Structure 1
């Protein structure tokens, strides 16, 4: 789970990072496993893109929290998919936020890359 603004975590176990769009940075709560890091990459990308696209649309964002989860077939290690949830704190209307989140779902780079698939090789 990643959070920023009014949704930053106060948990002692949360890791804090500087963030381009928020003066207080972001917080990350995740186990350090490959699967959790894959899910964190998708969640972090979505959080970043909420801020970026909101700026383009002129929508004020007071906070964002994104969580992502999924599973793997333990025989093949193929992902069963990733599902993410977004919470946004903003004075914008529900309709404006729906437009924003649809736009983010279309443009978020990491979810798009995962959806498209990729070859991974040792170099």
Structure 2
């Protein structure tokens, strides 16, 4: 945790109602899956994860306030933008805050996936 806070600016923010936590969000510098070739002043994305609000507190602005804190924190750490992966339920909130959808594709490997995709290690592909 200490290392993450130092090297990745890891932080979490909590929302409370009458002493009880009702929401949270966590942030860090985004771990890119490829080498960073641009200067941090041009591209230094932050990453938001684990946005959560108790069911009975949803729609009351809790997530908006948490996201505002998260964005301000990342900006104060020199981030030039924010990346997050949204659930369907969160899309409207994030769009209202200025986020735009980005295209991502995934593949999950199973035991028959390689055969089904006609990929053969014997052919060298």
- Shorter chain as normaliser: what TM range? 0.3 to 0.5
State which structure, 1 or 2, has the greater radius of gyration over its C-alpha atoms.
Answer: 2
* TM-score (norm. length: structure 1): 0.37
* TM-score (norm. length: structure 2): 0.37
Larger RCO (alpha carbons 8 Å, 6+ apart): 1
Which structure: greater strand fraction?
Answer: 1
